[in-house]
Amino acid sequence: MKNQGRPTAPVAVNMNERETVSGSKGLQQTEPLIFEVGTPRRTGIDFPKPKGRATRLGGQEREGEIGLPGLSEPETLRHYVRLSQKNYAIDLGVYPLGSCTMKHNPRLNEKVARMPGFADVHPLQPQSTVQGALELMHELSHWLMTLCNMPAVALTPKAGAHGELCGMMAIRARLDADGASHKRRVLVPESAHGTNPATAVQCGFTVDEIPANSGGRVDMEALRAKISESGENSDIAGIMLTNPNTCGLFESDIIEIADLIHGVGGYFYCDGANFNALVGRVRPGDLGVDAMHINLHKTFSTPHGGGGPGSGPTVLSDALKDYAPLPYVVKDGEQFKLVETAKGAASDSFGRMCAFHGQMGMYSRALTYMMSHGSDGLKQATEDAVLNANYIQASLSDVMTPAFEGTCMHEALFDDRFLKDTGVETLDFAKAMIDEGYHPMTMYFPLVVHGAMLIEPTESESKGELDRFISSMRSLALRAKAGMVESFKNAPVYAPLRRLDETRAARKPILRWTPPADEAQAAE
């Protein structure tokens, strides 16, 4: 009947060219700095001036106005809501960033972490009043040891690198206890995480790098040569190996690697940051691993920055279990208690890494994730994560160039050969992804791959979401090959800020707002 009403499709206009009085573009709200929104002359709330209280600052009282911007409550709320709308988040779409980034964080986990009995627990409370929290830590320890088939776990490390430090300190304590203090050389494959050599050096070891072979895995000939050259009184303390490695590949010779290291009296440290590709399928203890940290964030929910600091518990083999740091939880009859002093059964402990007992928020999220999935669900999540990464790799391999042949684990790794002679670089490609509505993948890492593009979808994306992501990536690859260079060099054009001068931002960051010369004008 009526065919001349409102259009049902967006009118094709270039929104970047249409100016508006407010600077906003529809629901894309502009938002100045909070210093530019509010003024020191206004406050959202007024407190009465304190009366009859003597200062205890000894003459160090502030003499002038502090100059903070004042806003009403609605203004404050709107400011931060508008800022939040400029962030990319897992709740908006696929988050392809690779390596060490957990994507899925069920709301149930957050609800449990915020329960008063866990959220409000204080580290100095009497242990009799926190039996539930201690039981949770004990149960979490059980799950971690079971999944790894290792007899001990230290919960206290605060993050992945801290967990590395824990494992290497246990190895050093065992070597010193055995009178093997001459063993101070640690082998580190170049496909390992960058924190590994730093941790080894911090523990007083020297680092000897092992190259990667053409398949992206440990060069076994080079490793055997290092072992053989070290002789009968080998100075090799151990190896720090990342598995799956930073190329997203499983180290297929890992059993032989463990045997070689143990054969010269060394210990096998495994970087477990990528454990989410193994959970329920492989137990590191079965591979000969002596120590391995587990990022509770990434492997068992709790995204980076998702409500608190990280957590990097470290599992230990039978050879290292007596050297675990303090404190740790034990069950004594029907009660749970913390072993906090180095005496009795804990006399070999290398000491304490933290003032208290770790991150309860991370513990509660991780255990909730484990128990809600169950052992079969954890295995399914691992398989889905690997399947999704291989689906992306297979779907893009005709227009992009996989860095290595064969299937991958939880991450699909491409290099920049498909961009050769196009004038488009990895950075340009990543910036164009922003215009497509995606956070860019990890770029230029691992370092052993030129122009690396590392994509990790994890298990939580549906086939439909993956197909939409793949469609965008294919379109970008074909556009680059078609010579549409300018659409990459100008990207992003739809982001709140256009392409930044990243070198200048890194080397000359402006971290402090300074008012304009005319303060009166700024206040108005």
Tell me the per-residue pLDDT of 452-477, one tens digit each, with 9 for 90 and over: 999 999 888 999 999 999 999 999 99
Mean pLDDT in residue range 159-175: 95
Q: What 8-state DSSP symbol labels residue 352?
A: B
Percent of the chain with pLDDT over 70: 93
Same domain, 112 and 146: yes
Where helices occur in 70-159 by DSSP H, the ranges are 73-84, 107-113, 116-119, 131-148
Q: Higher-confidence residue: 495 or 482?
A: 482
Same domain, 349 and 379: no
Q: Higher-confidence residue: 257 or 515?
A: 257
State yes or no: pLDDT of 307 exceeds 70: no
Nearest residue to 227 (alpha-carbon basis) of 200, 259, 255: 259
User: What is each CA distance from 315 to 21, 138, 173, 339, 361, in whole angstroms?
Assistant: 60, 14, 16, 17, 20
Nearest residue to 386 (alpha-carbon basis) of 278, 259, 302, 504: 278
Q: What is the three-class DSSP state of 389?
A: helix
Calpha distance 386→276 (Å, rounded) = 9
State yes or no: pLDDT of 1 exceeds 50: no
Pairing of strands 442-443, 236-242: unpaired
Q: Are 315 and 150 in contact (CB under 8 A)?
A: yes
Mean pLDDT in residue range 100-108: 73
User: pLDDT band for position 4 (50/70/90)?
Assistant: low
With respect to residue 45, please indicate whether it lies within any of the assigned structural domains.
no
Same domain, 444 and 364: no
With respect to residue 6, please indicate whether it lies within any of the assigned structural domains.
no
Q: Can you name the residues that pair with 280 across neighbouring β-strands?
A: none
Q: Are 456 and 101 in contact (CB under 8 A)?
A: yes
State yes or no: pLDDT of 96 exceeds 70: yes
State yes or no: pLDDT of 308 exceeds 60: no
Specify the pLDDT at position 475: 97
Same domain, 121 and 237: yes
Specify the pLDDT at position 418: 98
Q: Higher-confidence residue: 358 or 395?
A: 395
Specify the pLDDT at position 326: 95
User: Measured on CA atoms in the order 242, 244, 247, 253, is the torsion positive or negative?
Assistant: positive
Specify the pLDDT at position 61: 84
User: What is each CA distance from 61 to 41, 48, 69, 227, 479, in whole angstroms?
Assistant: 21, 18, 21, 65, 62
Q: Higher-confidence residue: 23 or 478?
A: 478
Same domain, 379 and 365: no
Same domain, 274 and 307: yes
With respect to residue 83, please indicate whether it lies within any of the assigned structural domains.
no
Calpha distance 133→129 (Å, rounded) = 9
Token pair of 206 as six digits: 């020297």
Specify the pLDDT at position 10: 47
Specify the pLDDT at position 11: 47
With respect to residue 174, please indicate whether it lies within any of the assigned structural domains.
yes
Give 498's contacts (C-beta < 8 A, 6+ positions apart): 490, 492
Backbone angles phi, psi at 218, to 5 degrees: -60, 130
Specify the pLDDT at position 282: 96
With respect to residue 232, please indicate whether it lies within any of the assigned structural domains.
yes
Mean pLDDT in residue range 250-264: 96
State yes or no: pLDDT of 126 exceeds 80: yes
Give 250's contacts (C-beta < 8 A, 6+ positions apart): 243, 244, 277, 409
Specify the pLDDT at position 35: 87
Same domain, 292 and 396: no
Which tens digits make up the pLDDT trace of 210-254? 999 999 999 999 999 999 999 889 999 999 999 999 898 999 999
Same domain, 383 and 337: no
CATH code, domain carrying 318: 3.40.640.10
Mean pLDDT in residue range 428-455: 94
With respect to residue 59, please indicate whether it lies within any of the assigned structural domains.
no
Q: Choose the final residue of a domain: 323, 346, 370.
A: 370
Q: What domain range is 461 assigned to?
A: 375-507
Same domain, 323 and 426: no
Specify the pLDDT at position 518: 62
Helix (H) or strand (E) run with residue 206 in it: strand 206-210
Same domain, 330 and 379: no
Specify the pLDDT at position 502: 83
State yes or no: pLDDT of 280 exceeds 50: yes
- Tell me the whole-structure pTM to 2 decimals: 0.87
State yes or no: pLDDT of 207 exceeds 60: yes
The vertex-89 CA angle with 87 and 93, nearest 5°, equals: 120
Q: Choose the final residue of a domain: 339, 370, 401.
A: 370
Number of helices followed by number of strands (H, E) in the chain:
16, 13
Domain count across the chain: 2
State yes or no: pLDDT of 146 exceeds 90: yes
With respect to residue 238, please indicate whether it lies within any of the assigned structural domains.
yes
Q: Can you name the residues that pair with 326 across neighbouring β-strands?
A: 352
Give 52's contacts (C-beta < 8 A, 6+ positions apart): none
Calpha distance 78→94 (Å, rounded) = 26
- State the Rg of the chain over Cα: 27
Give 171's contacts (C-beta < 8 A, 6+ positions apart): 203, 237, 238, 267, 269, 290, 291, 320
Mean pLDDT in residue range 83-98: 85
Which tens digits make up the pLDDT trace of 365-394? 999 999 999 999 999 999 999 999 999 999
Calpha distance 416→429 (Å, rounded) = 10
State yes or no: pLDDT of 522 exceeds 60: no
Same domain, 157 and 138: yes
Q: What is the three-class DSSP state of 167?
A: helix
Place of tokens 């009799």: 128
With respect to residue 162, please indicate whether it lies within any of the assigned structural domains.
yes
Q: Choose the final residue of a domain: 320, 342, 370.
A: 370
Same domain, 389 and 473: yes
Specify the pLDDT at position 99: 60
| Terminal-residue alpha carbon distance, the chain | 54
Q: Are 147 and 374 in contact (CB under 8 A)?
A: no
Calpha distance 213→219 (Å, rounded) = 5
CATH code, domain carrying 466: 3.90.1150.10
